[in-house]
Amino acid sequence: MFLKSAAVAAALPLLALAAPLADIVGNGSTVADDGKYYVESEGIRANFIPYGASISNLWVTDVHGLDRDIVLGFDNASYYGIDQQHPHLGGVPGRYANRIKNSTFEIDGEVFHTDPNEHGGLNTLHGGSNGWDYRNWTVVAHTTDSITFSIIDEDGEQGFPGQVISYVTYTLTPYQWHLRMTAVATTKKTPIMLSSHVYWNLDGFQNPDEPTALNHTLSLPYSGQRVGTDGILIPDGTILPNQLYDVNDFWSSPKQLGANFSNPDLLGNCGTNCTGYDTCYIVNRAQNGPYDWHDKPVATLASPWSGIQIDIFSEQEAFQVYSCGGQNGSLTIKETQGFFNTSRPRVVPQYGCVVMEVEDWVDAINQPEWQRSKRNIFGPGDGPYVLEATYNFSVNHDLSAAYNASKATLSGY
């Protein structure tokens, strides 16, 4: 792709924000025969692929002392571009993540129409049918503990105005996964909102008693509100309270994702006739005054069976939770997951995972009253779009011990 000199100049601040470029060959890093790029640090290792700048495997050690691969993906990197379901496994949706109402938005009085790729053409999802997680990114740096991808999104692609240049850097440090996403609009004002669309099962589908992720405990300490949506999950402009002890209350105390599945209020919570979660929660940290996003997590997910816990830190001001109600057993699990000598099918069942996305408020480009334009619209004279997050992995021994004690009590021992 050809970059005009002005575009290159506009992208220079972005280059400075990306990880230092390293030789892809000869630095001790590994690229496997299956097309995956290996990255590792103490207590954690992961595989990444250029397709969608996606994470395909992530291993951490559980309470039993065993390494579990806790993210969904495919065994071979080449299959990501072939699979017809395209569930956005571990990729970077862009240039505008989540949904755009009516596949339209307006900037400075001009109306733009994006690719209407969901609900029969009623809206745009994750940037359109050729969004960023449908494309092969360029690997510009790869070391033993880090990898950087880049993409150039041209003017008019999927209906978005202007060229955008983006870099995504993933780095592993002991027991942590760090991600930094930067993007610069080089020629015109345009919407930019990215995220990391990872499907998690903290048991690696190896819990003999529970095939789903509904046993996972979730805490959202700053999320007393959520974005209101219609029956196809398009924001309707309202900000709704998550009342104490209701189905969307994950802020007052942690609770299992399946804790309220018998509550009739959960029906329709993730769209018409849908039971579960596909919800954009607002992150309300500023109410407590100035904060450093590194200090406290915006979300914590833990499994009582494996004991694996993730604390998610980010400077983003919304957090999407999807409880995988749309999974129906048609997506297979990897060779590194599940069981081989049991009758349990080697597939992802309904509610067999949970997606957690750090992002901004969904479809804020169509809700001017929210006053989010400075976090959603970027032009050549603006600074770069930036998203940062850290995933901290640990073992929650107390949660696991309580689970085992409860199980022993129920079994009569």
Q: From CA 364, how far away is CA 96, in angstroms rounded?
A: 11
Write the DSSP symbol of residue 13: H
Assess whether 357 carries a catalytic annotation: yes
Q: Let me know if 216 is a catalytic residue.
A: no
Distance of CA 16 to the CA centre of its chain: 25
The phi and psi torsions of 124 (rounded to 5 degrees) equal: -105, 135
> Which residues, 6 or more positions from 269, have their beta carbon under 8 angstroms from its beta carbon?
247, 248, 275, 276, 277, 279
The answer to whether the peptide bond before residue 372 is cis (omega within 30 degrees of 0) is no
Burial (Cβ within 10 Å: 0-12, 13-18, ≥19) of residue 46: buried
* Catalytically annotated residue among 118, 157, 357, 359: 357
State the Cα–Cα distance between residues 284 and 320, nearest whole angstrom: 14
Asked if 270 contacts 279 with a C-beta cutoff of 8 angstroms, the reply is yes
Residue with tokens 């397709």: 51
Write down the catalytic residue from 88, 142, 197, 216: 197
At a CB cut-off of 8 Å and minimum separation 6, what does 399 contact?
Answer: 217, 302, 303, 304, 307, 309
- Is residue 158 within 8 A of residue 116, CB to CB? The reply is no
If one counts every other C-beta atom within 10 angstroms of the C-beta of residue 277, the result is 25
Give me the DSSP letters along 132-171: GGGSBPEEEEE-SSEEEEEEEE-TTGGG--S-EEEEEEEE
Q: How far apart are CA 57 and CA 322, in angstroms?
A: 19
**Would you give the distance in Å from CA 224 to the centre of its chain?**
20
Which residues carry out catalysis?
197, 357
